[in-house]
Amino acid sequence: MSVSRDDFSIAFRSALLQRGGAQKFSVLSLIFLALIIFFLDVYGIKFTKPVRSFLNDVVYRVTFLASTPTRFFPQVGKDISSFFNVKEENERLKLELEKYKSLELNVEFLTDENKNLQKILETEYFNKNLSNIILAKVLVDKNSPFLKSIIINKGTRAGILKGMPVTKDNYLVGRVVETNYLSSRVLLLNDLNSRIPVTLNEGAQAILTGSGTNKPVLEYLPEDYEIVEDTNIFASGKDGIFTSGTPIGVTNTDGTVDLFIDPNQLSFVTVNLNVQYKGKL
Amino acid sequence: MAKSSFINKIFNAGPLILLYYLCISEVDSNLEKIFEIFTLNFQIILIYFWVLKRPDIMANGHIFFAGLINDVVMGFPLGISSLSYLIVIFVGTYVRNKSVNTTIASDWFTFFLAMIFSNILFFSLLNNFSDLSFTYSKIGYNMFFTLFMFPIFWLLFNIYQMTFIGNRDA
């Protein structure tokens, strides 16, 4: 009995302290080092923030370079297939153009009407300062089962601050949750940690909650509310982060939302520098 | 002679290069985009196998460093992936010290223990010390598929070891 206990303790100690050969560090020493780094990072001691920010900038750049082959080959495939579909695409685009021309007149009318109504309500016209919107390239889009986020190539140097809303083609994509000097992390709408106050076509209010899948879910809808398929969802702007009226997606009958922008297909996004949430994110 | 030694070094470094590449690149070790519930922690399979079979080609320091890179890329608190990888190394080394001859079944079972300890530490630290939230079903799927895929990778790595590295025990 005592022999087996000795065996256990020898094997246990050896596994923790063994060095030599290729092993220059023992597991125990590295565990202590990892714990120290972890607590320094979690409790955000003053000097760790710039160090982490510098590390992030460097690693994101290296990740971008290392991922180039994985981005290059699918893009080549897409380019080749689109080359052979040029004629079809041209005809489709002509039809779409006609459709949008007719819609433009409607939009012009509605914009004027909207401006006039906002003047009456004495509210701020939300799109008055478009010069404060910057374009950013997606550096890293690593798909994790637990965290849905992207890294963009603009940081505090470009004026990006935590909480700023991120859009693509005027559709909401997410918000900035981490800023470095040259890069930022954007939390996508489908991340589990994402909560956004939204409004439905008919004016009903709800919270759009990330589910970890591609389809976020509507929560806290009014009692007895029946979800109609293909209802448009907009940011309500009640949180002070997102501009009210920014389109997000359309509903499904099961309460999930099909986002207008596929979170897995982002290459360029825009950041609205006008808005910043002051609270805890 | 010198050329073959260089090629051997490249083959020996293969698993480590793969680990670094998985941690730093955009390449997904989970196929969530194809099959929604399929997520896989490929890094711990890689670490466990090589720590068990050939610890001389998978140095602790490198694994620790790869964990730090993984944390930066994924947006986790620094050191958390390193800690979980180190737990896998610890269990692997312990099993290696205690056993004389291993089979795929014994490796599979001990890998299950290593994965359990490593994930308990990872998610309890994440739960208590960060604002990140996660669903237990996702963790469950991740653990299930990682465990399920272990024998397949065990065979692939064995073939790689026998073909390019040799069966020499460290």
User: Tell me: the pLDDT tens digits for B44-61?
Assistant: 999 999 998 888 888 889
A206 vs chain B: nearest CA distance in angstroms? 21
Structure ipTM: 0.89
Q: How far is CA B43 from CA A86, B24, B33, B150, in A?
A: 42, 12, 19, 11
Q: Do A89 and A157 fall into the same domain?
A: no
pLDDT exceeds 80 at position A155: yes
pLDDT surpassing 50 at residue A43: yes
Contact between B83 and A34 (Cβ < 8 Å): yes
Q: Which of A115, A151, A203, A7 lies closest to B72, judged by CA?
A: A151
Do A246 and A151 lie in one domain? The reply is yes
Nearest CA-CA partner of A242 in A210, A208, A268, A202: A208
d(CA B47, CA B120): 17
Q: Is residue A49 part of a domain?
A: no
**Residue B4 · residue A42 · CB < 8 Å:** no
Residue of B nearest to A58 (CA): B72
pLDDT at A239: 74
pLDDT of residue B114: 94
Q: Of A166, A113, A162, A108, which is closest to residue A137 (Cα–Cα)?
A: A166
Evaluate whether A257 touches A216 at the Cβ level (below 8 Å).
yes
Rounded to whole angstroms, how far apart are CA atoms A262 and B125? 31
CB A137 within 8 A of CB A153: yes
pLDDT for A13 = 79
Predicted confidence (pLDDT) at residue B169 exceeds the cutoff of 70 = no
B124 Cβ contact list (under 8 Å, min separation 6): none
Confirm whether A149 is domain-assigned. yes
For the beta carbon of residue A9, count every other beta carbon within 10 angstroms.
Answer: 10
Q: Is the pLDDT reported for residue A6 higher than 50?
A: yes
Structural domain contains residue A40: no
Q: Per the domain annotation, does A79 fall within a domain?
A: no
Pick the residue from chain B with its C-alpha nearest to A142: B26
Q: Does residue A194 lie in a domain region?
A: yes
pLDDT at residue number B167: 64
| Confidence check: pLDDT of B117 > 90 | yes
**Of residues A24, A67, A147, nearest to B74 (C-beta):** A147
CATH number of the domain at A148, please: 2.40.10.340
| A217-219, strands of its sheet edge to edge | A217-219, A205-209, A195-200, A232-235, A247-251, A257-259
Check whether residue A156 and residue A210 sit in a common domain. Answer: yes
Q: What is the DSSP letter of A130?
A: G
| CB B89 within 8 Å of CB A27 | yes
* Contact state of A15 with B125 under an 8 Å Cβ cutoff: no
Tokens of B96: 């290696």
Q: Provide the percentage of residues in chain A whose pLDDT is more than 70.
A: 89
CB pair distance less than 8 Å for A143 and B28: yes
pLDDT at A165 exceeding the cut of 70 = yes
Distance CA A266, CA A137 (A): 9
Kindly state whether residues A176 and A247 are assigned to the same domain: yes
Residue B168 has pLDDT above 60, yes or no: no
Q: Which domain holds residue A117?
A: 85-121
Average pLDDT over residues A81-95: 82
Whether A237 is covered by a domain: the verdict is: yes
% pLDDT > 90, chain B: 44
A178 and A150 inside one domain: yes
**DSSP designation for A157:** G
Do A220 and A100 have their domain in common? no
B56 and chain A in contact, CB less than 8 A: yes
Q: Are A163 and A250 within one domain?
A: yes
Cβ distance A142 to B130 less than 8 Å, yes or no, reads: no
**pLDDT of amino acid B148:** 92
- End-to-end CA gap in chain B: 22
- Residue B41 CA to its chain's centroid (Å): 7
Structure tokens at A253: 């009958």
Q: What is the mean pLDDT of residues B93-97?
A: 89
| Mean pLDDT to the nearest integer, B68-87 | 91
What pLDDT band is residue A210 in, cutting at 50, 70 and 90?
A: confident
More confident residue, A16 or A39: A39
Q: Are residues B79 and A41, on separate chains, in Cβ contact within 8 Å?
A: yes
Point out the least confidently predicted range of A44-58, A70-84, A119-133, B27-41.
A119-133
Within a domain: A138: yes
Mutation for testing the B interface, residue in A5, A24, A30 having most B CBs under 10 Å? A30
The structural domains of chain B, with segments of one domain joined by +, span: 41-165
List the structure tokens of A88: 């079809």
Among A121-135, A238-252, B4-18, top mean pLDDT goes to B4-18
The predicted structure's pLDDT at residue A65: 85
Of A172-181, B24-33, B121-130, the one with minimum mean pLDDT is B24-33
CA–CA distance, A195 with B120 (Å, rounded to integer): 27
Q: If pLDDT is split at 50, 70 and 90, which confidence band does A45 have?
A: confident
User: CA A255 to CA A244: how far, in whole Å?
Assistant: 21
Q: How far apart are CA B160 and CA A141, in angstroms?
A: 30
Mutate to test the interface with A, among B9, B25, B95, B136 (most CBs of A within 10 A): B25
**Integer Cα distance of A61 and B152 in angstroms:** 33
Q: Which residues contact B28 (CB under 8 A, 6 or more apart)?
A: A142, A143
**Domains of chain A: total:** 2
CB interface of B with A, residues 3-32, below 8 Å: 21, 24-28, 30, 32
Q: How many CB pairs under 8 A join A and B?
A: 143
Same domain, A106 and A233: no
Interface test with B, best of A146, A191, A209 (most B CBs within 10 A): A146
Q: How confident is the model at residue B63 (pLDDT cuts 50, 70, 90)?
A: very high
Give the model's pLDDT for residue A18. Answer: 77
* A235 and A216 fall within a common domain: yes
Domain co-membership, A109 together with A148: no
Q: Are residues A198 and A98 in the same domain?
A: no
Same-domain status, A268 and A135: yes
- The DSSP element (H or E) to which A92 belongs, if any, is helix A86-121
In a domain, A65, yes or no: no
CA distance B139 to chain A (A): 8
The pair of three-digit structure tokens given for residue A75, joined into one six-digit string? 């893009």
Mean pLDDT of chain B: 86
pLDDT of residue A280: 47
